[in-house]
Structure 1
Amino acid sequence: MPGHLALVTDSTAYLPQDAVDRHGIEVVPLSVVVGDEVLAEGVEISPKDVAEALRAKHRVTTSRPGPETFAAAYRAAAEAGARGIVSVHISAELSGTVEAAQLAAAEVGIPVEVVDSRLVGMALGHSVLAAATAAAAGQGIEQVAAEARRRSELTRGYFYVDTLEYLRRGGRIGAARALVGSALAVKPLLHLSGGRIEPLEKVRTASRAIARLEEIAVAEAADREVDIAVHHLAAEDRAEPLAERLRERVPGLRELYVGEVGAVIGAHVGPGLLAVVVSPR
């Protein structure tokens, strides 16, 4: 559609495919490196693949898209008649993706607003969807980018991991590094704060950690209108019951999404992840 605003994000938003299709969102994949093999997330490697690689103790790392990948996506949008682009991405504290997008933005002949969501997963995804809704309503590029930032600032992400080992290996653990020494004695609850992964609470058992995750999400939602996402990696048996309990307990719930994180985030958190995103409208 000539004269439209194009929306671009990256594969760590883990948006439902129907939402991507409905809003015409371009998703640029990050890469997972297993041994010496570089694989595009969501295209060449699945969450199951990365969980199996981690369990088998293969070396698994991740990498951002190159600026040229973003430049190609932006040029394609311009050639399709877009008057501008809003590009919303994973926290710059966790990945160099924002930097790559900013480098590419300088090479395109139409305005590009790059937004650092300071989030990941459907926490990022909700910001992208908020931008898409604003764009569909005919708002300008600055207003659409501002809406993505507004939603990002309101959104909270909380998560439980079976072990901090994968976060430690990937260097994404931030202040939670202090928990590593006692990792055998506690089940850590973490959250996204300032774009980083930070410790929230230490709990003694997995069942108690999941119960606390539920309580925290319910308290965060309060009586506001919210969208909620429940993420997991190889832990559907934990995710589905948690989602159903949240459906019953959150009075202002609008949309509830349950889904597995992709290979990039899976590589850093490991099997057993359970996360809840609370995103007020």
Structure 2
Amino acid sequence: MSVLAGWQRGGWLSERLVWVALGVVLVGGAHLLPALCRSSPLAVRGVGALLWCGCTAGASFGHATFFLLSQSHAGDVRVAALPVATAAAHRGLTEVMADRASVTTLLAQSNARRCVGDCPVLRGRRAGLASRLDALDAEAAEIRRYQSIEDRVEKRRDAARDDPVTARLAALCGITEAKLDLLAGLAFAAVLEGMACLLWWIALSPGPAIKEGAPAVVTDAPVPESGMSAALPVVTEPKTEVTKLARDIQNGFLKPTVSDIRRHLRCSQAKAALLRRQLGQSMP
């Protein structure tokens, strides 16, 4: 999703590649930083938390961009699948009404004239203007019918472009569809990133520690076929919490203090003090 969103954001090829690389880095940081900084000192974990918040926000924004663009593309596909309904070519309603106003003025002027006698010319002019006025009225009614058809087609295209679930949920919640699309995209991205972080945390977590007092593992070495004496059994010491603490202290993950041991193992104060005494006895 981050790759597709970054590719659609950029214009030039170089810009698209930079956006794609940035999205991959943000997603990798959002997924791996909590697991990688788990055993680090407190200062490093604080910086890692800030970076994780920034990476999560950037990755969520990229995911929301993908969701919104995909909905827009799906709407364009639905609109393209609709049958094309076009009205016949016609003049604008404003132009027709202007002609009707002119004819109405001429007819009023003809009716205002007085004529003594039969006056066939004046009667013919009045009849012609009245017929032209009726034709303009019919043309205006036809144009209004065409406009209503075009309005219905446009409304149908808009309804097909919008996601049906989003449209109904927006009407139910009383907010605009654009705002609901943005909130839904951010919510989906937050859930997705949270699930990814949790899975990486579980995948990179250390295995269960062997408790103290566990029996040693004894393996018998193979006996040579010659007349040599049998080899002694090889004894492998179990990996206890004390040995793990000694290894982590040597690697610089924590200091040999009760508070650091307690934070590192997430154990009680009494257990941390006991491990510190055992560590002092085992280490020279």
Q: TM tier, shorter chain?
A: under 0.3
- The normalised TM-score by structure 1 is 0.22
- The normalised TM-score by structure 2 is 0.22
Higher fraction of strand = 1
Higher Cα Rg, which structure: 2
